[in-house]
Structures are given as C-alpha cells and as structure tokens.
Amino acid sequence: MERQTSVSFICQRCSMPVRLDDTILNPNEHTLAELSLPIYPATESDLGSGAGSFDKVVPPVRWTESCGSNPAAGGGADSTGFTVLSDPGVTPSGHLSHKVKMAATLFDMLSTSTEVDHPMCEECTDLVTDGLEEELVTVRKEAALYREFVQKLRREPPADDGEAALDAELAKLATEEQQLLGELRTLKQEEQQLQHELEQQDKEKERLEQEEEQFWREFCTYRKQLIVADEDYRSLSNRLDYTTRQLEKLKKTNVFNATFHIWHSGHFGTINNFRLGRLPSVPVDWWEINAAWGQTALLLTALARKIGLQFSKYKIVPFGNHSYVQVLADGRELPLYGAGGFKFIWNPKFDAAMVAFLECLQELQEKIESGDAKFRLPYRVSKGKIEDPQAGTAYSVKIQLNSEEHWTKALKYMLTNLKWGIAWVCADSTLGELAPPEPGEQT
C-alpha cells in the first residue's frame, strides 16, 4: 500500500500542496472582523453587498506521492503526479470539519478583498509581495507628480477669458473638422476616380504591351526579310555590274572575228584553222575542206542576215561539213562538200554549188558597195571567177578543167573578200542587231 500525505489546500499560483499552520485555523472574532474589512475605501456600490457571503470556496484536497492513479483510494489522477483523496475529517454526509471550514472562510475573505487568490505558498507570496512593492513605488511617484501639478495650477492666476477662448477655439476646431471632413470626402471621391483611371491605365498598359510584343515580332520578321532582300540586292547588283562589264566587253568585241577567224597558212586560206584548198604537194583531207566550206557558208549567211540581204537565186543552208546550196527556182540541192578525187573523177554538182556560192558572195559585194561608195572589196567576183584587179588575173572556183593551185588561190581570195566584209559590217554602226536564223538553218 502506497504512503499518503494528508493536505488540505493547494497554492493558487503554482498548484503545489500547502500545509497550513495551526494558528491560522483558530482565528478569533477580532481577527475575522479585521479581515472582513475592505482594503480599499468602500464606495456606495459596495454598501449593499453582504460581508458574510462566500464568493469563492476552496475545497480541501489530499495528494498522494505516487505517480499513477489509485482507484481504490477513492480519488482521481492529476497531471502533477498527485492523487486527490478524501479528507479523513469529512463525514459520510459530505460536511467539512470545523477547522477546514474556518480556513476556507478565511481564504475566501482574503481572495474577495484583494486581487490575489488565496491560499499561496511562501515562495509565491514573496513573489507577489515584491511585485506589489514595485507597483507601490510607481504609484507613489505618480501621486507625487500629480500633487506637484495641482500645486502648480493653484499657484497660477486664473484666466478671465480662458473659457471664451476655449469656446472660440472649439468652434474653430469644429469648423476645421467640418472642412477637413469635406476635404476627406472630396479626396475619397478623387481616390475612387483615380483608382478607376488606374484600372483603365493598367488595361491600356496590357494592350500596349501586347502591341509592343506584336510589333517586335513583326519587326524581327521584316528585319529578316530586309536582310534577305539586301543580300539579294547586293547579289543582283554584283551580277548587274558583271553583266554590264561583259556587255561592254562584248560591245567592243568583233563577234564575227571572234566566231570566224580567217587567216592563212602558207598558200591556203583558213577559217577557224580549217584549210580551204588542196595542192599536189599538200594533199589536204576532204573532211577538213568540207568543214571549212561549212564554216564559210555559215559566215556568208550571217553577213547577209546582218545587212538584211536576201539572195535572189539561191539559199545557202549551213549544215556543218554537209552544207549545201538550194536553188530557189526548182528546189535542187547543190552540195558544198566533196567525196574525193579530182578533175576527171568528180561530181559536177560540187562545182555548181561553188559557183552558186560565189554568185551569192557577188550579191553581198554589190550590196556593201552600193551602201558605201568609198568601200570596195579587194577582189572582183564575176561569173564563177574571182579576179585580182592589180595583177589582172582571174581564177575559177571550179575543180573541173582547173589546176589545184588556181582553185586554192581562188578560194583564198574568196576568204579575203569575206574578211573585208566582216570588217565593214562591224565598222558600220547603222546596222541593227543580227537577225534570227531562218528555219532549217544549223550552225
């Protein structure tokens, strides 16, 4: 069985058990009368209150030293580890003993008269006493200040117009108050208006921010397009400059001389390095002669087209090494190429084609000389022969009944006339652009 300690009360501040002195439990009538008097002076509201009523009854309790509850002991467990037990002085009917009742009455009277609840242990009492002493010192200082202020007011002479001045000042302050209230209402209205304007400005700000973002997007897009366009412009400008330089270069270039290079190689006249003619000591291959005739036919056709000349009897058809001359009257084709052999073994159509070609060259000569009286080709062309006016000799372009030397010389004179024709055409600035080739012509 656990050891129990019998106590009657607990401290109202720290809840620790309080053991009362026996002298406190036996007060006399004079002590009770003094304790029943209020500490502060009584007011009219306190006259009707009963002095013997109990506003607060502190029941006696008993604590155990065990940490757990003991249901068999007849009490309940507390968080402090003590168990409340019934007092041995309590009768079965529930009335308090005389000593405990007197102590409860005493503590109740003390608690009613002061702001401190009783009973208290010695340590808590010391703490409360120290606090009250500090408060007493503060109150005494305030009382001294009040007394000093009252004495100061008593020493000052009373002002005659003090009340009137105060009334006037009060009226002025009231007027100012009304004015300030009016200003306050006005400022509140302005605040509401400004708040509304602020909301509108916020919306406008959001709209402008969206427009700014859209603007920068479009700016970046247009900037990119501008850069690309600028690059294209620079590229086109460079190409234009290059094309202009090439055009100026081509304008200064003799197209016919660049395309048809007429020169000589010993006794042979050459066109684009193809020899036109044949000698016993230099048997030129017929494929080279045929290629030279093809270049010559193309050159005569280009010159005639340049000056706007249409041949009256023939049409020259450049066709490489198989070029031919077409008779306009009956549509016959005279080949401007040979297959080999000479004199007795020969195709007479080749001679006819060369004579027809020479007649076309004669028409070109007449067209040039009729347009410019001061210009004359170096060799005269007439009836299938080409004549040197200075030497007074003429050479036929036919192979039949002709020597290879004379045939080669006639072809050389013919190429010389064509070279002079190129020089005249390129020097005459009144001529138009080169006309397009006719259908069926091949270069």
Whole-angstrom distance, CA of residue 170 vs CA of residue 95: 67
Q: What Å distances lie between residue 413 and 166, 268, 277, 379, CA to CA?
A: 144, 10, 11, 7
> What confidence score (pLDDT) does residue 252 get?
75
Q: What is the DSSP letter of 313?
A: S
The answer to whether the CB of 340 falls within 8 A of the CB of 288 is no
Q: What is the mean pLDDT of each run of 10 residues along the chain (443 residues)?
A: 53 79 66 63 44 40 38 38 40 52 73 74 85 91 92 74 81 93 94 94 94 94 94 94 90 78 87 88 88 92 88 90 89 84 64 90 87 82 82 84 87 90 74 39 35
Query: Angle at the Cα of 296 (from 272 to 435), degrees rounded to 5?
Result: 105
Burial letters for 32-63: b for 16+ Cβ neighbours within 10 Å, e otherwise?
Answer: eeeeeeeeeeeeeeeeeeeeeeeeeebebbbb
The answer to whether the CB of 292 falls within 8 A of the CB of 275 is yes
Sign for the pseudo-dihedral over CA of 182, 184, 189, 190:
positive
Instruction: Say how many C-beta atoms besides its own lie within 10 A of residue 9's C-beta.
Output: 21
What CATH fold (topology level) applies to the domain 256-427?
Actin-binding Protein, T-fimbrin; domain 1 (1.10.418)
Q: What Å distances lie between residue 164 and 159, 168, 169, 397, CA to CA?
A: 10, 6, 8, 153
The answer to whether the CB of 65 falls within 8 A of the CB of 77 is no
- Map residue 266 onto helix, strand or coil: coil
Residue from 320, 357, 358, 291 nearest 441 by CA: 320
Residue type, 329: A
> What confidence score (pLDDT) does residue 220 get?
95
> What confidence score (pLDDT) does residue 427 get?
77
- Map residue 440 onto helix, strand or coil: coil
The answer to whether the CB of 303 falls within 8 A of the CB of 254 is no
> What confidence score (pLDDT) does residue 244 get?
93
118: tokens are 């009783």
Q: Taking the model in full, what pTM does it have?
A: 0.44
Residue 370 burial class via C-beta count within 10 angstroms: exposed 0-12, middle 13-18, buried 19 and up: exposed
8: tokens are 């009657």
Domain limits, the chain: 4-120, 256-427
> What confidence score (pLDDT) does residue 97 get?
66
- Mention every residue, 6+ apart, whose C-beta is less than 8 A from residue 27: 35, 102, 106
> What confidence score (pLDDT) does residue 428 get?
67
- Map residue 180 onto helix, strand or coil: helix
